[in-house]
Amino acid sequence: MTTCDRRSFLQLCSALPWLGGRSLGSWIPAGDDRVLLVLELLGGNDGLNTVIPVDDKGYAAARPKLQAVRQGAHALGDGTALHPALRALHRRIVGGEGAVLHGVGYDRPDRSHFRSRDIWHSADPALVRVEAKTTGWLGRAADLLAAASAGVPAAAVGGLEVPLMLRGRRATVPSLRRVEDFQWLSPTSAQPQPAGAPVRRIVDEPVAGTDARAHAAATARTAVQLADDLTAALQRYRPRAEYPDSALARDLQLAARLVVAGFGTRLLHVGFGGFDTHARQLPTHAGLLGQLDAALDAMLQDVTAHGHGDRVLVFVHSEFGRRVAENASQGTDHGAAAPVFAFGGGAAGARGPAPDLHRLDDGDLIATTDFRAVYADLLSWLGLDAAAVLDGGVLPAGLVSAPR
């Protein structure tokens, strides 16, 4: 009898609910096939230097150094303009393929990275601490999808862990960093992963009687076949856009591959860090937004060229904005409300009232749109019950259009 160490056996067992016992077609969830990608700008993006209130004299007074970004900014037509580095995304917004909504947040923010992320992820402004039972808004949406069909309704791309946002009660949500994450189970991979050897030994077990090991081997055979099918689908993908050489671009390209391969995964999360710009903000922020512009535009070009542009929506947000006044280190400190963006299918172009720099709360912008209203838009666009996910009725914000 072949042997397998306990760790490898547990790895296999953890993969079986995700891979085993299904045909490739059953991965496609019942109903609509729209895909929502949440792109989270980690660290607290400076919304006022991303969507710049160029016509507001208070902006230049509050930011004598940082207001330099007004030179070369791309006008949006409502007294605001996009940062000079966001050239491609500006074209999408003015061309009707993107939307920006000012002043999104919640009441009584406390400027903590951790608590703010927990609130955005859970969709609960009253959340004090995360407990074992705490779920995320996308995780609850994934539970609704999982209840209707087989497969993997959601995935975290690029990170080591699944964020709270994707934590549900029933749905299986993997964390993926590379295409090879699908190959470790496959004995036919040209370059099998180290974990594949013990799995191959399990697969080679003869199926006999009711022994648990024989049952595992039979189930593993089905799982391996599906792993091969999924790997082949990923390998057939060919990019139809030129991606820049950046970690964000690699993450977004993997997300595009998942969409194009047709796995049926409808909820995706990608994190992009570095936005905690307390000092020397101008060059750092410009570099980050330049990476965002190039990588996201390439991903949108790619999925559109593959014929999936209408069914993919990218939502971009951060855990909070920055304070209105710059600090002594030519940066900005933790703030509150900030703009959010939507790109791709369903983007409606809504902008809401521009930020009011003369009506502040302890130096912070006051939220004019509840972030849960934006979530209600996104869930409705997906064809899901927003009230069930958000635990009650929330009026939509108008960031994206109603389902077709």
> Tens place of pLDDT for every residue, the chain, 404 residues?
344 444 444 444 444 444 443 433 333 344 468 999 999 999 999 999 999 999 999 999 999 999 999 999 999 988 999 999 999 999 999 999 999 999 999 999 999 999 999 999 999 999 999 999 999 999 999 999 998 875 689 999 998 899 999 999 988 888 988 866 655 444 454 444 444 555 555 555 555 555 666 666 666 665 666 566 667 777 788 999 999 999 999 999 999 999 998 777 899 999 999 999 999 999 999 999 999 999 999 999 999 999 999 999 999 999 999 999 999 999 999 999 999 999 998 887 778 888 899 999 999 999 999 999 999 999 999 999 999 999 876 777 888 876 55
- Residue type (1 letter), 192: P
CA atoms of 98 and 119, how far apart (whole Å): 25
* Helices of type H across 96-203: 113-122, 137-148, 196-203
CA atoms of 269 and 173, how far apart (whole Å): 11
Tokens 């934006």 found at: 374
3-state secondary structure of 204: coil
Question: Taking Cα atoms as reference points, which of 95, 104, 109 lies closest to residue 353?
Answer: 104
Residue 213 is predicted with a pLDDT of: 65
Question: CB-side exposure of 350: number of CA atoms within 13 Å?
Answer: 21
3-state secondary structure of 196: helix
CA atoms of 3 and 19, how far apart (whole Å): 22
Domains and CATH numbers, the chain: 6-390 (3.40.720)
